Amino acid sequence: MNQSSTLAADVVALIEPLRAVPDKSLLVLDFDGTLAPIVADPATAMAADGVVEALEALSQNYLMVAVVSGRPVDFLSEQLPPSVYLSGLYGLESSEASVRSTNPQAEQWQPVIQEAVERSEAACGPGTALEGMDVEPKGLSLTLHARRRPHLEADVVDFARKLGLELGLDVRCAKLSVEIHPPVPANKGTVLRSLVEKSGATRVMMVGDDLGDIAAFEAIEQMALDAEIAVAVRIGVAGDEMPAVLAHSVQAIVAGPDEVVELMRELL
């Protein structure tokens, strides 16, 4: 254990099997709330100090390092090193060695997503019931945020569900936000399974802080139970908005992005 580390002993013990066999280990991390502090304006989110350097070092030592996020790949690639595999929009797009690809099924839904964006923007104009809701278009999906007006959260969820029903889109709740996606079978769980298959990893770590990460935690837990992988390490990230249910999906919890950086350094 790094003598200067603040990590709890149980966390260090969990990651030891990964550090022992790095050439068989896949490391996967979420972005917002995990590598970057949560901020009121999503456009201003920045990776925490030390994240880029730690990711670069890990990618040189481990079989594969990936960031799996609800963010667009273009946003992630502006902040993270090209040596890291990027999966954006919950698996609808990806980037490996700066080569980008998108899910062709999702592309067919772009006109519908655009309609959802326009209707959402109209619904939160001045004087409307949803004034203060922020609309974040992401190309193949969109996110509705209630972070600036937390009291609107229930109304935002209700609006999103009605919109999704009318347009045939999937709706996924997150922390003070709602994701609206094409009805394509893609989530962080499917991404994790594809990365294991792609890399040939036998040991996998997932680190995340939100509802969308639960599918990834469940996927690697099931893969370990089915003996598809030998080790599944599931680590949650604490924060003011961490869903209580997340604690039931992980083996340990670290205290925010700064401690995630400590975790990554401990893996070196």
Name the residue ranges covered by the structural domains of the chain.
9-102+186-266, 106-181
86 and 73 Cβ atoms separated by less than 8 Å: yes
Percent of the chain with pLDDT over 90: 91
**Alpha carbon distance 79, 53 (integer Å):** 11
Position 3 scores a pLDDT of 57
State yes or no: pLDDT of 1 exceeds 60. Answer: no
CATH superfamily of 9-102+186-266: HAD superfamily/HAD-like (3.40.50.1000)
CATH C-level class of 106-181: alpha beta
Q: Residue 47: which residues within 8 A CB-CB, separation 6 or more? A: 31, 35, 36, 79, 80
Looking at residue 4, its pLDDT comes to 62
Confidence of residue 40 (pLDDT cuts 50, 70, 90): confident
- The DSSP annotation for 103-133 comes to -HHHHTTHHHHHHHHHHHHHHTSTTSTTTT-
Structure tokens at 129: 């019931």
pTM of structure: 0.93
